[in-house]
Amino acid sequence: MKKIINRILGYGLLALLTIACAEDEIKYDTSVVRDYKIQLNGEPWRLNTGITTLPIFIYKDNGDYFGNYSSHYRFALENGSYSFIATDIPAQMVTSPVNLKDLVVPQAVNADQKVNMSAAMPYASPFADTLTMNILTRTGTLRLKAKDIVGDPSYSTIKTTVFVKRSGYKPVDETFVKEDISVARSKKTTSGGVNYLDDFIVFQTDDEANNVRVKIEFLNADSVVINTKEFEGSFPILPNGVTNIDFNLNDPNTAIIKDYVVTINGEIMVK
């Protein structure tokens, strides 16, 4: 009986030693991510206390999705190499846990959503260096503003279509998907276009070849297009900027809108 008890005690001690060794091995194979900073367009950014948003996305060295973390707490990762991405609007930016190489943030079809994401930043254990993730706004705003003081009662809806050259953003290498697409929005008007104002959030253009073009259609009460106008030329969109166009909607016999003023971030542009 005594031998049996001794064997049981011995097996128990061996099990405890095994568990302890395993825990030591886990501790050895993981490192705590301690020192990182998040910026928004170059300015310090911090998640407000009590907010449950998870702004940090982590991908493995091969691009596989690993996890989504809060910036409120320190966390541990298995030793290895990773890519970190930060965004202040994670629910809108990463909608499914795909491989980083396949992650594309699309142009919002209603042109009403900013794209705010940092670059995919490499980070490897023991995570001793400070990691800075700068969330950059990859979109800008095209603002259309009518100067008319006399309305046109022949139409009740203004449909504006913006033609863009970029359909998505790829954080893996900070590039854009080059594709001709259009985004459109219709607005009711009871004033025949007086005080018309609309904002379209689209990807930054970076060079003239990617500038956006604009078409406006005028619809009557039966939703029939009674007139169409296009803007002469194209317009640049700056990241986190506003391209404002002041123009007349109701100039008669004008199929091409040539008389307009472009202001970018408060500076009037010369045609």
Continuous segment of H or E residues that includes residue 169: strand 157-170
Is pLDDT at 13 greater than 80 in this prediction?
Answer: no
Q: Is the dihedral of CA 117, 118, 119, 121 positive or negative?
A: negative
173 with 161, same domain: the answer is: yes
- Average pLDDT on 5-19 reads 40
Query: For residue 106, which of 160, 184, 169 has the smallest C-alpha distance?
Result: 169
Could you tell me if residue 102 is left (phi over 0), alpha (psi between -120 and 50 degrees) or otherwise beta?
alpha
132 with 143, same domain: the answer is: no
Percentage with pLDDT > 70 across the chain: 88
Question: Does any domain span residue 11?
Answer: no
125 with 152, same domain: the answer is: no
Is pLDDT at 73 greater than 80 in this prediction?
Answer: no
Pair 227, 204: CB distance under 8 Å: no
Token pair in block for residue 155: 């139409």
Among residues 111, 137, 163, the one where a domain terminates is 137
Residue predicted with more confidence, 265 or 271: 265
Is pLDDT at 6 greater than 70 in this prediction?
Answer: no
Question: Does any domain span residue 104?
Answer: yes
Question: Does any domain span residue 18?
Answer: no
Per-residue pLDDT of 110-128, as tens digits, reads: 999 999 999 999 999 888 8
Confidence of residue 269 (pLDDT cuts 50, 70, 90): confident
- Specify burial of residue 176 (Cβ count, 10 A radius: 0-12, 13-18, 19+): buried
Is pLDDT at 25 greater than 80 in this prediction?
Answer: no
Q: Return all residues near 145 (Cβ < 8 A) that are at least 6 apart.
A: 196, 197, 244, 245, 246, 247
Radius of gyration of the chain (CA): 28
155 with 260, same domain: the answer is: yes
What are residue 3's DSSP bridge partners? Answer: none
Q: Give the pLDDT of residue 29.
A: 80
Q: Give the pLDDT of residue 39.
A: 95
Is pLDDT at 83 greater than 50 in this prediction?
Answer: yes
- Average pLDDT on 230-258 reads 95
Is pLDDT at 61 greater than 60 in this prediction?
Answer: yes
110 with 156, same domain: the answer is: no
**Residue 159, domain CATH:** 2.60.40
Query: For residue 115, which of 105, 104, 101 has the smallest C-alpha distance?
Result: 105
- Average pLDDT on 244-268 reads 94
Pair 182, 163: CB distance under 8 Å: yes
Cβ atoms within 10 A of the Cβ of 250, count? Answer: 21
Residue type at position 88: D
Q: Give the pLDDT of residue 88.
A: 95
Question: Does any domain span residue 114?
Answer: yes
Query: For residue 262, which of 241, 236, 238 has the smallest C-alpha distance?
Result: 236
Identify the top-confidence range among 33-37, 121-125, 161-165: 161-165
Q: Are strands 131-137 and 36-40 parallel, antiparallel or unpaired?
A: parallel
236 with 197, same domain: the answer is: yes
Round to whole Å and give the CA distance between 99 and 60. 9
Question: Does any domain span residue 254?
Answer: yes
Among residues 109, 137, 165, the one where a domain terminates is 137
115 with 178, same domain: the answer is: no
Residue predicted with more confidence, 102 or 271: 102
Token pair in block for residue 190: 């009871």
Identify the top-confidence range among 50-64, 66-80, 190-204: 190-204
User: Which domain does 240 fall in, by range?
Assistant: 139-269
Residue 137 Cα distances to 69, 190, 202, angstroms: 21, 35, 11
Task: Return the minimum-mean-pLDDT range out of 99-108, 122-131, 196-205, 219-228.
Answer: 122-131
Q: Give the pLDDT of residue 2.
A: 43
Helices and strands (H and E) in the chain: how many: 2, 21
Pair 196, 216: CB distance under 8 Å: no
Q: Is the dihedral of CA 245, 239, 111, 231 positive or negative?
A: positive
Question: Does any domain span residue 58?
Answer: yes
Question: Does any domain span residue 201?
Answer: yes
148 with 243, same domain: the answer is: yes
Round to whole Å and give the CA distance between 159 and 117. 30
91 with 188, same domain: the answer is: no
Query: For residue 198, which of 145, 161, 259, 125 has the smallest C-alpha distance?
Result: 145
Q: Give the pLDDT of residue 34.
A: 78
- Average pLDDT on 199-207 reads 97
